[in-house]
Amino acid sequence: MQSATSKYISSIFVRRNRQRFTLLSAVAAFLMLTVTPLPAHADGEIRNFNFAVFQKYDENFEFEPIVLGKFSDFIQAMKGSMVLMISQTRNAVNGDVINVQQDVLRDAEGSLNDMGINCSLSYLDLSSEDNTSFEVGGLCKIIDSLNTNVTVIIPMIALPDTEQGIDAWVALYEDEENGIAFYANVSSSQ
């Protein structure tokens, strides 16, 4: 026969195990409902995130919000500006944080001078079996220690997917004072 103390301890043990089981079940159910499945792309198809930065040298040149055409057409459309950086992140997947940086640290008359671009971008692949959908947003710094550094917050922006039959690049941001513009798109490869 069990003592009253033994019964009390057993009942506490049973209640705690039920609570743990209930908590674990709730966590498992939450994860099953909130975890995003990987996008369904064609077998073996890889998505690449493409990012380009340009700076104007012709004060009459205007950056377009969307540039249509293949990569060579895109570069042609940027006459009046120079390429500061072009980057491709191969096999970008949903939730990636893509860091793109190009800057130079140099000695300038006995002190250090830092100039360049430094971006940390969140990449989302919201594609379904019927449609592709990509977004990017994040934080970029235009570094120019001789002048003023600029910190840019890029809100989430839908990106064109060249696989949908329209080759295009979309402007993510333009800094009119520095004449710098960021562009991006998504392409596929095998």
**Higher-scoring residue by pLDDT: 27, 57:** 57
The pLDDT assigned to 60 comes to 95
The pLDDT assigned to 6 comes to 54
The chain-wide mean pLDDT, for the chain, equals 82
Q: Is the pTM above the cut of 0.85?
A: no
First vs last Cα of the chain: how many Å apart? Answer: 71
Distance CA 53, CA 22 (A): 52
Q: What is the pLDDT of residues 93-129, one digit of tens each?
A: 999 999 999 988 888 777 777 889 999 999 999 988 8
- Which SS3 state, helix, strand or coil, does residue 178 take? coil
Confidence check: pLDDT of 30 > 50? no
Q: What is the percentage of the chain residues whose pLDDT exceeds 70?
A: 75
Tokens of 2: 């069990």
Confidence check: pLDDT of 84 > 60? yes
| Amino acid in position 144 | D
User: pLDDT-based confidence at 41, cuts 50/70/90?
Assistant: low
Q: What is the pLDDT of residues 150-190, one digit of tens each?
A: 999 999 999 999 888 889 999 999 999 889 999 999 998 87
Kindly state the helix (H) or strand (E) to which residue 17 belongs, with its residue range.
Answer: helix 4-34
